[in-house]
Amino acid sequence: MYISEEQIAAVLTYEALIPAIRTALADYSTGKVEQPLRQVIRVKDEAGNAAGWFATMPVVYGEFMAVKTVTFFPGNTTMPTHLAVIELLDRGTGQPLAVMDGRLITEMRTAAVSAVAAETLAPNARTLGVLGSGVQARSHIEALRILNPPFQQEGSVKVWSRNTANAAKLSAVTGASASSIEEAAGCDVVVTATASTTPVLLGKWLRPQSLVIAVGAVGPNLRELDDEVMRGYLVAESRQGSENESGDVLLSGAKVRSELGEILAQAAPLPPPGRTVFKSLGMAIEDLTGAAIVWKKYKQLQETLL
């Protein structure tokens, strides 16, 4: 069975995905998930110029196994820069159950993880700053508003982008306010969802008690955050991932204090008062979680029609 992005959009909701992601993160951090570090091939075009990257992400969890193949080609202009396919398999038999488009699942699960992080690490936040104006910026506004009603209030969400026209467009669609980078960085929660390869968020702009959620800059030589930002209390989505794949962590020398799943499972304490940084790189367990919801929804629909 192949499930298209349009079919996924018809059944996958944040209301179903967010609690499932919360459980999956806790299970990952307490050893209930088998998931190796993703394998990445840097792709060159036929002339030998850097073109993008190609990654494979396998995982075993619960009743399922899954593998996502994902590409990132920043030069794409007529199609998304991120494209993916997820294969879902039965854990007991190894039988392939479905192949589905992975782009929307990747988009939504990334924002769902950030929503859980904001709810857990900044439950009293009232303002949200978003650096970036692409797909992830929009999805983060939507997902974080579900768990934090104050972000639904007028003037509570500020958006900045190097492309001011895109920032204005995103603000119009979401009801946010286009702002300067200093204004967006001065919010209670600051999401960095940019394609920047060098620090775009400076610690001098942040509030002392702010939460930074960094979802861009996937790669050991790429950064969104400067060293001052990284002096905050560092919580990782995955300790292994952050210590191998995050330039923000590796190049700043910051140490991961805990995983979000450890906090959710009460195996680690909440961060002390002060600045907190949550680094998210994306994990196969999150893709499996979204794919499993989609598969079960379509299985229910098939059974209803019989």
Spatial distance between the Cα atoms of 193 and 158, rounded to a whole number of angstroms: 13
The CATH architecture that domain 107-282 belongs to is 3-Layer(aba) Sandwich (3.40)
Name the one residue in this structure whose structure tokens are 């007529």.
78
Count of Cβ atoms closer than 10 Å to residue 127 Cβ: 20
Give the tens place of pLDDT for each residue, 122-161: 999 999 999 999 999 999 999 999 999 999 999 999 999 9
pLDDT (average), residues 101-113: 97
**What integer pLDDT is reported at residue 304 of this predicted model?**
77
| Mean pLDDT value across residues 27-45 | 96
Predicted confidence (pLDDT) per residue in 230-255, tens digit: 999 999 999 999 999 999 999 999 99
Per-residue pLDDT reduced to its tens digit, 70-102: 998 988 989 988 899 999 999 999 999 999 999
Q: Which fold has domain 2-105+285-305?
A: ornithine cyclodeaminase, domain 1 (3.30.1780)
pLDDT band at 196, cuts 50/70/90?
confident
φ and ψ at 148, to 5 degrees?
Answer: -130, 90
Joined together, the tokens standing for residue 42 give 């840097």
Predicted structure pTM score? 0.95
Closest by CA to 222, choosing from 240, 195, 204, is 195
305 pLDDT more than 80: no
pLDDT, averaged across the chain: 95
| CA–CA separation, 236 and 262 (whole Å) | 10
Query: What are the extents of the domains in the chain?
Result: 2-105+285-305, 107-282
Residue 29 is predicted with a pLDDT of 98
The answer to whether residue 306 scores a pLDDT higher than 80 is no
Q: What's the pLDDT tens digit per position in 294-304? A: 999 998 887 77
Transcribe 160-185 into DSSP letters: E-SSHHHHHHHHHHHT-EE--HHHHH
For residue range 201-210, list pLDDT tens digits in order: 999 999 999 9
